[in-house]
Structures are given as C-alpha cells and as structure tokens.
Structure 1
C-alpha cells in the first residue's frame, strides 16, 4: 500500500524510488500524528526539488506519495515545502529570513470576513498587528510566511517567528474529524516583527502561487490513490462481480486522467509555459480535474466497499474523512466560475 505514487513514464532512479518508499512507510506509520509528521520534514525536504527548476514532476510525486500514505503527514509537509519555495522565489533563505535557523514552516494567506492582519513599517522594519484566519499548526510550527495588508488593495507576504510573544494562536475551535490533528484556527498578532517576502501583491501575482496550488492538488491525488488502492484490494480478496469491476474501472479512469494532467502540468511549469496568467489558468484547470477525480473515487469506494472499512479499519476511515476535509481547499463551483471567467478574460477558445 505504501509504494511511491508516480506521475509519468519517466521513471525516477531506483535509489530515489527506494527513498520515496521509505518516506511513504514512515508517513503511514505516523497514523495521523502531527508530532510524528514534523519529524519527517527534513527527509522530505531532502527529496523535494523546487518547483520550476526542471524536476517539478518529482516534487509532485513526493507530495502524492505522502498523500497516499497519510494525509495528515502530507498536510504538515506540503506547506513547509511551499514556504521554502516561496522564500527561494523571493531570493531569501529559510534561515536568514527571520534571523535564526527555522525547523518548520507554515503558509498563512487566507482571508475571512471581519478578520484582518495589517503590516506597518516601524523603526526601519515591519510589524504585524491583527488577526489571521486559518493558521494551521501555528502553536507547533517555528516560522510562517504570512500575508498582511499594507494599504488599500495591497497585500504583502512576510516571514515571521511564530514563537514571538506577540503571536497568540486560537485554541479549542477546531472541531473537524478529518485532519483532526491539524488545528487551523485564527491567530492574533500583536506588534510582531516581520521580514518582507517580495513586494506588494507579489505573493499572489508570482507564477509560483499557481504552482503551489497544483502541488496541493498532487496531495489530493495521492489521497485518492490511497482510497482506490483499498478498493482494488477488495477485488483481490474475493472474486469481484460486474458491479465491483465497473466501480474499479471508473476509479482507474478518473485517476488516469488526473495523473496525466498533473504530469503535463509539471512539464509546462518546467518549460516556462505556466507563468503569469497562463499558470493561473492551468492551476484552475488541474485543480478542478484532480478534485473531481478525488471526489469520484471517494464515491466509488463508498459504493464498492460498503460500511465495513469505514467502521472497522482505522487507516481507511481516517483517509476518507481526511481527504473530504482536504478537498475543501478547492472551492467547488466557485472555483469553476473563476476558471470560466479566466477563460473569457484570456480570449480565444483553448479547445
């Protein structure tokens, strides 16, 4: 079950596959524990090329492999790798950006009604004040890339030390049964020193923003692969009837389409075809295809496996509910509407 998830026919070297398999085994052994997943940041980072540097497919295979093994581990590691990519794209490094070596990173860029985080220049530097929503694991991570308002209609990314006394993570508001250990709560910032990461609005307009969004879709894909592997195992445990074969075939078709889309997107990123608006459009397309495939696999597995694994198998039950929560990072019909608007704005007909 914990073998690597590969995306293209250009098979990685045997040594890398062995390291991926070992990481998958260790991720599965975390069994939803955030603390155990944090111990995997270093080995995952060692296997993770930066996106857009010629090996993007290897990065997304790593994320998919983690997603298939344990979605909590993937949810801990993916933003850490994304933060390192953001810092690299801004010409910073993870140690020098906050004045000390950082062991773990998060990325907090969500917005919510009635909550606002502002950045103001002070004494030759910057300070953050206000509240940021949806800050996953803020009480357990060392550093984060955080977006804050710098003026009317402008936001900027900043690197911050989450151990600073002015950082106050919320507690007791995360009721989720999926990704249960990945507390995502509002965080209050009071005069917290911050290091700029790029200029105003750079965070959202850089090509890497779209690439990071596709990386998240690679995790969804991996989670769906994990669910589908359980469906396939059922077909090997006993002679499948026509309905079981149909469900397995439909799952395979959905995953095949998603895998090919991810592999093609990785090639586009490395070839320079996914920069600027083209990259944003591509990210919308890939995320929609992968999210639809994952939701289809969840439905097919539910129909094919029945209640038994959901009620009697801890790893399968956790994977299903984790994936359901993780997929809500895709905004479903709203993201489809945004994709339609992007197509009209781009002009022409891509089909």
Structure 2
C-alpha cells in the first residue's frame, strides 16, 4: 500500500491483517472493532518522535479495510499515546476515547476534590462510542483554561445520548453528547499541556492518515471496475487522476512522519499539521467525488460496503473544518511565517 520513499522501514513492515480478522467486514459491531483496537495497541508503538511512520501506516491500513474500524481504533491509540507521554498507566483491558471537542452553550466544569482528583459536571459534545468504551480522556474547565482528565465511563454519573446520532455515515459509531454529573477523574498533565505538546498536532496528522487510507479503499473499488472494463478510457482516466491525488496525499503524510521521527527542534507543528491535513483532505475529497461520479449509482445502491465507505469517509473528513482551518493556517503565516516564499 505504501509507495512514497519517505516512509521508514518500520512503516513498510506494518501488517494489520492478523489483528483485523472478521472485524474488517462491513457491519462489524462496535465491540468487535474495539477488540481490534486492543489487539492493534498491543503491537503498535505509541506515537512519539521515532514511531510516527508505523503509527500512521497502521491507521491508513485499517481505514483501507474499513473506515469505521479506523475511526474506532484511532482515538484508542491516541489516548494511549497521551497517557504514555504523561506517564500515566493504562488499566488492563481498557478501551479509550478522546472527548476534546467544544461547542457553543456546552461546557464541562472541573472541581477539585482535595484528594488529587477532580469531579466533572456538564455536557461534552461529539463523544464517539461513549456508551461502549470503558474510559475516556475528557477536556474540562477548572476556570478559563482547559485541563485533561481521565474518566471511567462506567461511573453512574455518565449518561451517553446515542439516540441523537442520526448520521448516515458511521451509523454504528455513535458520537452524541455525554452528560457528566459529578464524575470523578484524574488529571493528566498540567493545565494546558494537552493542547501545547507536539503530540496534539501529530495526532491530528494521524487522523489524516485515516482519511487517506479510506480513500485508498475507495480507489480500489474504481480499480476493480476499470479492470473489468479494459476498453473504457473514462475509467482509466479517472483511475489515473486518482493515483495522482493519492500519491500527493501519501507524500504529505510520509514526509510529516519522517520529520516527526527526525525530532527536529523548533518545528511549528501546529502549522505543519494544519497544512498536511489540508493537503490530505483536498486529495481525499477529489478522490471521493471522482469515484462516486465515475462508478455510477449501482455500487452505491447495491453494495452496502461501498455505500458505507462513501458515507463514512464523507463524514470523517469533516473533522477538518475546511475554510476555517485554511484561514487558521493563513493567520499563522502572517503572524510567524512558516513558508519558504
């Protein structure tokens, strides 16, 4: 699957077939996918300088199999990486999410208890698989700043609202809001640490690796169709354009992994991650639109796996905020440079 020369040998050695098993099929349950997350975590290093290549390659390979599978595994691996960076042990058998989104009118407040823990109260939006996971890292506000708190989601004060999730993309990865009522948790890192560390930006690139892998899976559908109709120049042209788009996205990811692994001091990772994510999303959107327009309605109405991949990928890339994120990158250039020209 990997072509770019920038990938490390460790990235090229990634093989997820044994871990995926039957959970790679369309229609696998959340529990089956979380079992894959645990199996993958047992053999995949946490994301750090020196391991970005195999981590990104693993996420991309999973998404090429099934987008919802990658969407389940990615936050579990991300949480474990955060906990490792903070020196916090991971309970045996636990499954993790990262609930860091904010939304107007919703807020989780953190109140110190005096025994080194905090209690969380409020509502957190966009909490994927909250009713299935055992634990999550949750951002909360002790005041004006943000802290990161490890929470046991099995506490009776946790109420997940799966019923509000009506998405056609990833319908079995419910990401509704969660109410927290006096839920105890442990502080992970100092206030503001979660967002300031380079690993926050690196994790964002890992999500882009999932987008790219999801588009690779869709490109395989187009390749199969083109192979079955060798006289169709229309299909060949679409396939050629798709190859170019995916190569551009892969180069962005492989180069980012190589630079993370080189651990060069002074890198503005917030800016670099923004640019990588924008490059990958642009390519993935182009591939998705082209493949859908080229293959026609039959696979989208008769093949549930293809229909799910299109819908899942369309929703997943919306974790990128489009023009708002591009504007953020533009402001960064104006404020602190970052481009050679």
Query: After TM superposition, is the score higher than 0.5?
Result: yes
Q: Unpaired segments of 5 or more residues in structure 2?
A: none
Residues 1:46 and 2:42 aligned together: yes
Q: Which residue of 2 aligns with 1:98?
A: none
Q: Which residue of 2 aligns with 1:237?
A: 228
8 Å contact kept, 1:132–1:187: yes
Superposition pairs for residues 240-279 of structure 1, below 5 Å?
240-273=231-264, 278-279=268-269
Q: Unpaired segments of 5 or more residues in structure 1?
A: 96-100
Return the alpha-carbon distance in structure 2 between the equivalents of residues 63 and 84 of structure 1.
14
Residues 1:21 and 2:17 aligned together: yes
Return the alpha-carbon distance in structure 2 between the equivalents of residues 197 and 7 of structure 1.
38
Q: How does the TM-score come out when normalised to structure 2? A: 0.94
Q: Which residue of 2 aligns with 1:104?
A: 95
8 Å contact kept, 2:121–2:181: yes
Counting matched residue pairs gives 339
Mark the CA change 1:213 to 1:162 in structure 2 (over 3 Å): closer, same or farther. Answer: same
SS of aligned partner of 2:109: strand
Superposition pairs for residues 60-79 of structure 1, below 5 Å?
60-79=56-75
Q: Find 1:323's aligned residue among 298, 313, 317.
A: 313
8 Å contact kept, 2:11–2:57: no
Q: How does the TM-score come out when normalised to structure 1? A: 0.92
Alpha-carbon RMSD: 1.9
Deviations 1:76-120 (A, max 9, x none): 11000000000111111212xxxxx35200000000111110111
Residues 1:345 and 2:339 aligned together: no
Mark the CA change 1:136 to 1:208 in structure 2 (over 3 Å): closer, same or farther. Answer: same
Q: CA deviation at 1:160?
A: 0.5
Superposition pairs for residues 180-195 of structure 1, below 5 Å?
180-195=171-186
Q: Which residue of 2 aligns with 1:134?
A: 126
Q: CA deviation at 1:242?
A: 2.4
Q: CA deviation at 1:277?
A: 6.3
Runs of 4+ in 1 over 4 A off after TM superposition: 10-17
Return the alpha-carbon distance in structure 1 between the equivalents of residues 267 and 192 of structure 2.
15
Q: Find 1:58's aligned residue among 54, 57, 69.
A: 54
SS of aligned partner of 2:127: strand
Q: CA deviation at 1:6?
A: 2.5
Q: Which residue of 1 aligns with 2:200?
A: 209
Q: Which residue of 2 aligns with 1:300?
A: 290
8 Å contact kept, 1:146–1:157: yes
Return the alpha-carbon distance in structure 1 between the equivalents of residues 258 and 8 of structure 2.
14
Mark the CA change 1:269 to 1:350 in structure 2 (over 3 Å): closer, same or farther. Answer: same
8 Å contact kept, 1:285–1:339: yes
